[in-house]
Amino acid sequence: MTERPLLLLDVDGPLNPFRSPFASLRGYTSHRMRPDVWLSYRDPDSRAARRGARVRLHPSHGAHLLGLPFEIVWATAWTHQANTMISPHIGLPSDLRVVEWPAMFARDPEGLSWKTRALTEWAAGRPFAWVDDMITPRDRAWVAEHHPAPALLLKVLPRHGLRARDFAALTRWAGGLSGTAP
């Protein structure tokens, strides 16, 4: 059996459209969460730290993601907390693999996203789709030059989050890989 391509999934932007003023009108539900990465930038005694970050999630996203022909992997600064804080609200399993970052938010000498090199190395030559709101043309060019397998870098706007057209693009791309059925 051929391995499914990886779906390297970010939280903020794709799943949590944090810049959307109308997320609730599009079926998103609001949650208060206190992920470690967010708390690390807050005064622990502040009102914001006590309340937590507002995270908007769409309850149908898990089913849509599970319906894709990918192996889903968290590629987010939320790290393992994505399994405990995000998965239950959208219907994903709580034991998805998680990319372990060598350094979070480190500046890249070539101006790449802090995730680009680590994700390419983590994929270890497997085809992957990376879904994130921070992807740039520079990241696309670098991955195309340094990754030996097909890769789709899908930028999702944090004002919109994942939409039907993004799921369609992922399905189309995976369907174009040999040995992967949509």
Q: How far is 170 from 73, CA to CA, in rounded Å?
A: 15
pLDDT tens digits, residue range 148-158?
999 999 999 99
Question: What fold does the segment set 6-19+58-175 form as a domain?
Answer: Rossmann fold (3.40.50)
Question: Is residue 71 within 8 Å of residue 3, measured between CB atoms?
Answer: yes
The span from the CA of 42 to the CA of 33, in Å, is 13
pLDDT level of residue 182 (50, 70, 90 thresholds): very low
pLDDT of residue 1 exceeding 80, the answer is no
For helices 137-146 and 116-123, what crossing angle results, to 10°? 30
- Has this prediction a pTM greater than 0.85? yes
Query: Where along the chain do its domains lie?
Result: 6-19+58-175
Residues 6+ apart with CB under 8 A from 99: 8, 73, 74, 75, 76, 79, 115, 118, 119, 122
